[in-house]
Amino acid sequence: MTTPHRAAVLGSPIAHSLSPALHNAGYAALGLADWHYDRYEIDESTLADFVAGLDPAEWAGLSLTMPLKRAVRPLLDTVSATARAVDAVNTVVIDRDGRRHGDNTDVPGLVNALRERGVERVGSAAVLGAGATASSALAALAQVCDGEVTAYVRSAERAAEMRELGERLGVPVRTADWADGARALDGPLTVSTTPVGATDGFAAQLTAAPGVLFDVLYHPWPTKLAAACLERGGTVLGGLDLLVHQAVLQFERFTGVQRGPLAAMRAAGEAALAG
């Protein structure tokens, strides 16, 4: 009897996650009939017991969403340089000896999504927000931005955190008041990392020709800011672009395949959102 291969996404709340649809579509596309991907409602209080109960003969890896991206670190045997830099682990690979290896695929996933849309290098960039996703966005911008990154934040504490992270990543970061966030779209690239509705007020303040907007939300879509950019001829990437690209990288790490089925996983995500 073939030993099943398992993976899953953990978080709280988790019912909305598209990850099972993406990964299971990938398995189907490559004929990996003994692989299956699930979702589990897990928070900080239940994480350690859940991870300790995983059988390495079956389990290949975990995807982590909030609030677990930092809470998982004490449970890991190794952590990649990328995950350490942004203090966020969204991927755990479990080897056959039961060792757990933490990584972050949000950073390269964001870079790959931009490159797919022709954004290779920019002279400057902006980030809206200063949470965990903003940290990953700043790490990604370190690879595509030749100049300064402006972070639009709500507090002096958040501003200091973003400047400190920029120093660690080797990216010059200037901070600006959140109320001026609409100005971010005047530049060549803006990454919005905020919750639903947070940027709605900026939509009516856009210039006639905004730059590229990468809005990491995927539901509801488009956001008011994304819709306003599209109406004015801007290039817009959404949360599904990031989700698919980071999921493909997870898929490759879990299964060992060299190239994950990007098209099949994207189609599954689009179908799930449409449904």
Chain segment 30-65, per-residue pLDDT in tens: 999 999 999 999 999 999 999 999 999 999 999 999
Distance between CA atoms of residues 56 and 183, nearest Å: 49
Distance between CA atoms of residues 148 and 201, nearest Å: 25
pLDDT at 125 over 60: yes
pLDDT (0 to 100) of residue 1: 46
Hey, what domains does the chain have and what are their CATH numbers? 5-104+247-274 (3.40.50.10860), 118-234 (3.40.50.720)
Cβ pair 135, 86 in contact under 8 A: yes
Considering the candidates 6, 23, 69, 245, report the single residue annotated as catalytic: 69
User: Taking the chain, what is the end-to-end CA distance rounded to the nearest angstrom?
Assistant: 36
Q: What average pLDDT does the segment 74-97 reach?
A: 96
224 is catalytic: no
With residue 23 as reference, give the H or E element that holds it: helix 19-29
